Structure 1
Amino acid sequence: MTLFQCTGWIELDGISLSTREVEKIVQTDPEQIRRFGGEFALSFDTCHARDHFGIIPSPGPKGALVCSGQVRFSIEPDPAPCTLDEAIVTAVRLRSGEGVTALSGGVDSSLVAALAGRECVAVGLAGSHDLAQARHAAELLNLTCTEVEITPEEIADALPAVVAAIPKKDPINTSIAVTQYFITRWAGAHGYRRIITGQGADELFGGYARYLSSPTLEEDLARDVLGLEAQAERDQAVAALHGTYLSMPYLDIRVVRAARAIPAQEKVHDGQRKIPLREVAECHIPPELAEYGKKAMQYGSGVWGVLKKLAHKNGYKTSVQDYIDHIGRVEHGH
């Protein structure tokens, strides 16, 4: 076999496989690749494969083994049915053999952090909401959490690399990606490749405030879940700048299946959001964290406010988008 490479991690029937075990399966029984779970990009000989949801970026279609340019078969892991609690616990367990957890103190990341039991990292400007809440959550969970204070100057310096890396260069995607940039930079600098995150929970369980007044909640949730692939592409592009990747337990096939089986009206009602996730969280973390309603990453970290100020300072007083476009043009020498 030539050029065997595996990025990410692979599981088979709930058991995490070592690189050597994966290589042996590929050599002796490649049909088993059909059942590979995890988050991976795999290549050998003239073949390459990606995980079912395409979490790890790589050429070729997600959820397929392609050899010599032809799709040989789909990759469709089929774990046994389980409850949402079992699904989340299993998803985090499979990912927590290595890495650092990105913690912001909301229910999504606090539940993952508690189950993973690993060192945590939080990012934000000095005095930001996310740093304070992550500190509080880490104390309640008895976890070590490194607080990375970022400055407006560092954000300005990072913007060209972030804008160049991400596919969709708009204000929301840019501000989220900037926050991810500093999380992944810290992780890479401290020897971590895997960063365990809470991404996907808002879309799967109904976490956004706009869901409270939506007359088409089921359709909105379905549409937003489809958008998770683009989010993952954005975040992994930034992570790759630092030799890292994001691992997303809520996008484990067990969790996705369990979440999709719950009717939308059970996820959001009576002014409450993410109800099924909070019910699971109450079994594993203190109630105040399970019930906490956190600001979105770009606001809680303080990055959005800095981005607006930088746009204004650079002469773009009414449009952050124009400022981002300007950065893109400068990067391309225009």
Structure 2
Amino acid sequence: MQGADCATVRHALDTRNPLVGTRGFAGELDGALVRDVLGRYPLFSEADAPAVSSPDPTDLRDPNPVPAGHRRDENGDTRVWTLPNPDPYADRERAVREVRAAVTESVDDAGDEVDSEVPVAFSGGIDSAILAARLDGPLYVGGFEDSHDVEAARSAAEALDREVHVVEFAHDDLVRAVPELVRATGRTNAMDINIALPLYLVAERVAADGYDRLAVGQGADELFGGYAKVAKAPDDPRVDAETVRGATREVIASLPDQLERDVLALRAAGVEPVAPLLDDRVVETALRLPGGLLVSGETRKVALREAADFLPDEVRERDKKAVQYGTLVSRELDRLARQAGFKRRMDDHVGQYIDSLCE
């Protein structure tokens, strides 16, 4: 069982409680496969033999992912857990106080669980800055020269009185890593590869430096209202919800698919992810936030920013670009595709280029 002991998972099954105090779990229990409600750990079985399973799809002939929140046995998949939909906090101060407690305790506990330092994937945004402020391990940022993430990480590290290791990307890194990522994740679409590439390349450097874990800020954008499409609800066609709170639940539902990709990419690079902001305590608290503590005017992740009052204001208040844009990976993979003859007028030209690298 990944992520939790069997007794805890059995209790979650018996009570149908999706948030029993873990950072996720997946594995075999009492003759069945189970995966937590947010899919924080990947799990697959053979499509024609559900008893044959692995957390690594490359171990299997025809891997079939176990859906998040489900139990799989010889009779098929059964949903066991769904996320609760609690009433929102009525008191703003209490909400921020509970977010602060959940976040700091979860990060501190993650650091206490290991005997050695835990490196941090550090982009300079509020999510990774929270980790950097409370974990002692070295900070790593990746990107092409003059990329937003590298500059943001340097300035944020200076504000935190920390040093940051820069993993500078080159075109050869992308060409080499794309087939490796496709094999590890089973993904070939351009968006997934663009997102996974920076994680993979930074994690490779972390592993080469002798570490086997990497702390990441995954989950914060989804849980705390970090997306523009959430802030613009209901006017953004990318969400169906009529409210910011409803749109937040929509993007939370996308986490299992995203986390499967990210965990597989990081493991393929040689590190195990540590994701304190996906702790059940954080999830449970975030689900109770009203819309005004998710988005207010132009400000996103309102409650998280207010709760992180231990950070310098310049770090706590800054916005961050999506990793594929902040590192310039998306731009440079597009450039490589066009140089290889895959022009933008072609349908999914970057996807076709990715396919060509894997042939």
Q: Of residues 13, 37, 47 in structure 1, which corresponds to 2:22?
A: 37
Q: Of residues 40, 45, 51 in structure 2, which corresponds to 1:55?
A: 40
Q: Judge conservation of contact 1:36–1:51 (CA < 8 Å) in 2.
A: no
Q: Of residues 162, 169, 174 in structure 1, which corresponds to 2:181?
A: 162
TM-score, normalising length from structure 1? 0.80
Output the CA distance in 2 between the equivalents of 1:39 and 1:193. Answer: 19
183-192 vs 146-155, which deviates more?
183-192
Aligned to 1:191: 210
Superposition deviation, residue 64 in structure 1? 6.5
Matched residue type, 2:227:
Y
Output the CA distance in 2 between the equivalents of 1:40 and 1:145. Answer: 31
Aligned to 2:110: 95
Superposition deviation, residue 87 in structure 1? 0.7
1:218-297 → structure 2 map (5 Å cutoff):
218-281=245-308, 283-297=309-323
Q: Of residues 149, 154, 164 in structure 2, which corresponds to 1:145?
A: 164
266-275 vs 135-144, which deviates more?
135-144
Three-state SS of the structure 2 residue aligned to 1:181 is helix
Does residue 145 of structure 2 align to residue 126 of structure 1? yes
Q: Of residues 316, 319, 335 in structure 2, which corresponds to 1:309?
A: 335
Output the CA distance in 2 between the equivalents of 1:45 and 1:263. Answer: 39
Output the CA distance in 2 between the equivalents of 1:44 and 1:144. Answer: 44
Q: Judge conservation of contact 2:119–2:138 (CA < 8 Å) in 1.
A: yes
Q: 1:286 to 1:48 in 2, by over 3 A?
A: same
Superposition deviation, residue 65 in structure 1? 7.2
Superposition deviation, residue 85 in structure 1? 0.7
Superposition deviation, residue 268 in structure 1? 1.1
The answer for unaligned runs of 5 or more in structure 1 is 1-5, 11-21
Q: 1:266 to 1:77 in 2, by over 3 A?
A: closer
Q: Of residues 160, 183, 201 in structure 2, which corresponds to 1:182?
A: 201
Aligned to 1:207: 226
Q: Judge conservation of contact 1:268–1:274 (CA < 8 Å) in 2.
A: yes
Aligned to 1:299: 325
Output the CA distance in 2 between the equivalents of 1:305 and 1:210. Answer: 22
Three-state SS of the structure 2 residue aligned to 1:126 is coil
Output the CA distance in 2 between the equivalents of 1:40 and 1:250. Answer: 15
57-66 vs 218-227, which deviates more?
57-66
Output the CA distance in 1 between the equivalents of 2:79 and 2:341. Answer: 53
How many residue pairs were aligned? 308
Q: 1:191 to 1:66 in 2, by over 3 A?
A: farther
Matched residue type, 2:23:
G
Output the CA distance in 2 between the equivalents of 1:258 and 1:44. Answer: 28
Superposition deviation, residue 243 in structure 1? 3.0
Q: 1:301 to 1:68 in 2, by over 3 A?
A: same
Q: Judge conservation of contact 1:37–1:52 (CA < 8 Å) in 2.
A: no
Q: Judge conservation of contact 1:311–1:323 (CA < 8 Å) in 2.
A: yes
Superposition deviation, residue 93 in structure 1? 1.6
Three-state SS of the structure 2 residue aligned to 1:131 is helix
Output the CA distance in 2 between the equivalents of 1:204 and 1:85. Answer: 14
Output the CA distance in 1 between the equivalents of 2:223 and 2:30. Answer: 37
Three-state SS of the structure 2 residue aligned to 1:111 is helix
Matched residue type, 1:274:
K
Q: Judge conservation of contact 1:38–1:51 (CA < 8 Å) in 2.
A: no
Q: Judge conservation of contact 1:41–1:56 (CA < 8 Å) in 2.
A: yes
Output the CA distance in 2 between the equivalents of 1:223 and 1:184. Answer: 29
TM-score, normalising length from structure 2? 0.75
Superposition deviation, residue 148 in structure 1? 0.8
Output the CA distance in 1 between the equivalents of 2:287 and 2:210. Answer: 36
Identical pairs, percent: 30
Question: 1:249-293 CA deviation, whole Å, 9 max, x = no partner?
Answer: 222111111111111233112221111111011x21101000001
Q: Of residues 122, 128, 135 in structure 1, which corresponds to 2:154?
A: 135
Q: Judge conservation of contact 2:221–2:301 (CA < 8 Å) in 1.
A: yes
Three-state SS of the structure 1 residue aligned to 2:43 is coil
Superposition deviation, residue 294 in structure 1? 1.5
Three-state SS of the structure 2 residue aligned to 1:83 is helix
Matched residue type, 1:116:
L
Output the CA distance in 2 between the equivalents of 1:31 and 1:40. Answer: 11
Output the CA distance in 1 between the equivalents of 2:144 and 2:347. Answer: 19
Output the CA distance in 2 between the equivalents of 1:110 and 1:242. Answer: 23
Question: 1:151-176 CA deviation, whole Å, 9 max, x = no partner?
Answer: 11211221122233335433222211
